[in-house]
Amino acid sequence: MSIPKSVYEQVRQRAQAQCEYCHYPELLSSAPLSIDHIQPQSLGGSDDLDNLALACRRCNERRYNFMTGIDPETGAEVALFNPRQQQWSDHFMWSTDALQILGRTSIGRTTCNRLDLNDERREEPFIQNARQQWTIAGLHPPDSDPRE
């Protein structure tokens, strides 16, 4: 399946050229960011703009075809963050050192957990090491994102 270039460009601009889940900027990527289907194609999701989000490869692969996850605080099954219906800043913020994305709500916590936005399931928190380097370079965190 391929998304027409004009549609890709609309999704990209709407997202301000950053992953709509972890806010990884295209600027730091050696390849274009990918298109995520909010309702997966395997579950009948369309190629309409309101079903598409810009996502980095990590987030796209980890979201796979999951629509929900488990809130680590309550154990409840909760719908994942939907960038077409919800505001990132309502559900997430950066830790003081900007290395970790923190969930501010059940949806935020569940999405951090399902997409492993801070690489906590890896032996080495690769993404946090990278964010530290981007911070030193003055490229992180995004200006308009809330901080702890």
| Site residues (CB under 5 A) for Zn ion, limited to 44-73 | 56, 59
Instruction: Based on the shown chain and the rule CB under 5 A, indicate whether residue 94 belongs to the binding site for Zn ion.
Output: no
Question: Angle at CA 75, nearest 5°, toward 43 and 124?
Answer: 85
Of 11, 19, 38, 101, the one binding Zn ion (CB under 5 A) is: 19
Of 15, 18, 21, 83, the one binding Zn ion (CB under 5 A) is: 21
The sign of the CA dihedral 66, 144, 125, 75 is: negative
How near is the Cβ of 19 to Zn ion at its closest, in Å?
A: 3
- Are the C-beta atoms of 68 and 39 separated by less than 8 Å? no
Residue with the two structure tokens 């979201």: 63
The residues binding Zn ion (CB under 5 A) are 19, 21-22, 24, 56, 59
